[in-house]
Structure 1
Amino acid sequence: MEQPSDQIVNFAANLRLLCERQGSISAVCRKINLNRQQFNKYLSGLHMPSSQNLRQIANFFGLSVPILFTDHAEFRTLVEGNFFHAMETVRSSPELNRFIESMIVEASADHKDILGVYDRYQYSSIYKGFVLRSALCIYKNREFLQHYYIERFPSHDDPTKTEYVFKYYGFVFPVAGRLFTVDFEGIQNNEMTFGVFAPVKRSSNNFMFGIGSGIAATMFRQPYSTKVALHYRGPGLITREHLDKLTVLDRGDPSIPREAMQFLGDASEMIHLG
């Protein structure tokens, strides 16, 4: 018996996860207007939906069709991290709609050259003088380029344990050869950050160098502005392998790319606005 392809396996697993969060498969079928018996075959991986049914399913869950075929472990990270729900809430806000209307979005391009996972380097505002390595992912969801990134800070008392985790999610706007980002902190929900980056290709390494600025609704974290280096690692979404490498590093750590360290300079170039 022929084994189903990875695409079909991922789609079925992702669809089951989405339906579990809806509570009732029958309700999903009624709202999408699909036959329950046929839908069960999609959930079991026995059949793939037609292109029309795929679009109906994707539209119902507020996702793009390609994201439904993402590796299941990566897809679960996005779902359980609440990134999809958070972005849907942000997208429906009148403030964001006014912001998007004022931006020049190059909607005709697919921007495949910038999609994927990056190591994100900047000086830490919590561990003074150390470089923070976080993970950032740019992906396309329907007509929007979106991104999310995750920071992890080790404990001062036990560096093998994580003390702080921050998750940011937002939009990417390609304008005139640069990338503008706006994102929102998703755990404490009190910080908004902005960035502007220019792609740089040096030898076989792809980098984006730019500036990140952030301000919180409270003074738990001081406003800041700092240089940020993005080092492209590969296509797809953030995986456990990427997360395991998130930490703060001494600026002489050999795992930091030389180009990134040259751009960041020394910690005195970080600007605090408090």
Structure 2
Amino acid sequence: MEHDGNQVAHFSANLRLLCERHGSISAVCRKINLNRQQFNKYLSGLHMPSPQNLRLIANYFGLSVPILFSQPDEFRTLVEGNFFHAMENVRRSPELNKFVEAMIVESSGDQKEVLGVWDRYQYSSIYKGFILRSAFCIYKNNQFLQHYYIERFPSYDDPTKTEYVFKYYGFVFPVAGRLFTADFEGIQRNELTFGVYAPVKRSSSKFMFGIATGIAATMFRQPYSTKVALHYRGPGLLKREHLDALTVLDRGDPSIPREALQFLGDGSEMIQLG
């Protein structure tokens, strides 16, 4: 796709603004896995990214590709509308700290049953009709529970390569036989996710079935609500073997547990708002 001079100038100006708000250019290049010299050409307007690299850049900043070509004044207005800093404000808010302290008191029951590594299955909001397998870990930090989970999405052009990664970190609250989670996306820092899960034991396997809701901190990513199945893998923290299994799967893939597939259904109940 060819871009005229105005589009190239808009893109480079908008990219510079995004980089200014996301730390060093080297860090951005490292996280997107793009060559720094080539990225400098994008910033200066000397060269346009390939369609694949445009998707990488847009995904990293939580934007759609067309938005990157907006008029710079309009783009700055959108960016400075606190969309990119909503999560930081939430993290620093005294209301969140009070909520966490209250939930820690309520979560003083037996927690050993939920600690460890879980495979996490849900229908993907990016790869329509496919099931995303991510790695979910619950661990104890002093007097309360925390968790983190990692998603990897393969490239459309080369499924053997990873196109982008999301990492979430948050709190876990066992209350009344249910597990409540609240987490923040840690790479792009533009999403807040909530979940509620019910532990279920089927035959010799442990599962947790529930619902997760993702709320983007920008107006460009669609909020969603979807069923999620967690399948227990073992104690401890995430290891290389768990990360190597992260991908997007066809619904008929035999590695998906039958119980998880039955709970998830055909994906028709996934709700996206936009």
Normalised-by-shorter TM-score class: 0.5 to 0.7
- The residue type paired with residue 156 of structure 2 is H
C-alpha distance in 1 between matches for 2:140 and 2:104: 17
- The residue type paired with residue 185 of structure 2 is E
Could you tell me which residue of structure 1 aligns to residue 23 of structure 2? none
CA contact (8 A) 1:105 1:174 kept: no
- The DSSP-based 3-state class of the residue aligned with 1:201 is strand
TM-score (norm 1): 0.65
CA contact (8 A) 2:118 2:230 kept: yes
What pairs with 1:230-241 in structure 2 (closer than 5 Å)? 230-241=230-241
Could you tell me which residue of structure 2 aligns to residue 269 of structure 1? 269
C-alpha distance in 2 between matches for 1:108 and 1:218: 35
Residues 220 and 237 (structure 1), Cα distance of their counterparts in 2 relative to 1, 3 Å cut:
farther
Residue by residue over 1:21-64, the C-alpha shift from the partner in whole angstroms, topping out at 9 and shown as x without a partner, is xxxxxxxxxxxxxxxxxxxxxxxxxxxxxxxxxxxxxxxxxxxx
Could you tell me which residue of structure 2 aligns to residue 127 of structure 1? 127
CA contact (8 A) 2:137 2:147 kept: yes
C-alpha distance in 1 between matches for 2:173 and 2:109: 12
Could you tell me which residue of structure 2 aligns to residue 109 of structure 1? 109
Could you tell me which residue of structure 2 aligns to residue 147 of structure 1? 147
CA contact (8 A) 1:104 1:175 kept: no
CA contact (8 A) 2:104 2:144 kept: no
Residue by residue over 1:152-201, the C-alpha shift from the partner in whole angstroms, topping out at 9 and shown as x without a partner, is 00000000000010000000001100000000000010100000000000
C-alpha distance in 2 between matches for 1:180 and 1:130: 25
C-alpha distance in 2 between matches for 1:92 and 1:112: 30
C-alpha distance in 2 between matches for 1:172 and 1:205: 21
CA contact (8 A) 2:207 2:229 kept: yes
Mark the runs of 5 or more structure 2 residues left unpaired by the alignment. Answer: 1-88
- The DSSP-based 3-state class of the residue aligned with 1:267 is coil
Asked if residue 167 in structure 1 is aligned to residue 167 in structure 2, the reply is yes
Q: Where has structure 1 moved over 3 Å in runs of 4 or more?
A: 89-93, 101-108
Could you tell me which residue of structure 1 aligns to residue 42 of structure 2? none
- The residue type paired with residue 162 of structure 1 is T
CA contact (8 A) 1:105 1:175 kept: no
- The residue type paired with residue 261 of structure 1 is L
C-alpha distance in 2 between matches for 1:95 and 1:125: 30
Cα drift, residue 220 of structure 1: 3.7
- The DSSP-based 3-state class of the residue aligned with 2:139 is strand
Cα drift, residue 252 of structure 1: 0.5
Asked if residue 221 in structure 1 is aligned to residue 215 in structure 2, the reply is no
Cα drift, residue 103 of structure 1: 3.5
C-alpha distance in 2 between matches for 1:145 and 1:237: 13
Aligned residues: 186
C-alpha distance in 1 between matches for 2:118 and 2:195: 15
- The DSSP-based 3-state class of the residue aligned with 2:228 is strand
- The residue type paired with residue 134 of structure 1 is S
Residue by residue over 1:113-152, the C-alpha shift from the partner in whole angstroms, topping out at 9 and shown as x without a partner, is 1100000000000000000000000000001100000000
C-alpha distance in 1 between matches for 2:215 and 2:256: 27
What pairs with 1:1-274 in structure 2 (closer than 5 Å)? 93-103=93-103, 105-274=105-274
CA contact (8 A) 1:193 1:213 kept: yes
C-alpha distance in 2 between matches for 1:109 and 1:100: 16
Report the more deviating stretch, 183-192 or 108-117. 108-117
Cα drift, residue 99 of structure 1: 1.9
C-alpha distance in 2 between matches for 1:252 and 1:114: 28
Residue by residue over 1:88-127, the C-alpha shift from the partner in whole angstroms, topping out at 9 and shown as x without a partner, is x987652321222453744433411110000000000000
- The DSSP-based 3-state class of the residue aligned with 2:184 is strand
Query: How many percent identity over aligned positions?
Result: 84
CA contact (8 A) 2:107 2:173 kept: no
- The residue type paired with residue 225 of structure 1 is S
Mark the runs of 5 or more structure 1 residues left unpaired by the alignment. Answer: 1-88
- The residue type paired with residue 175 of structure 1 is V
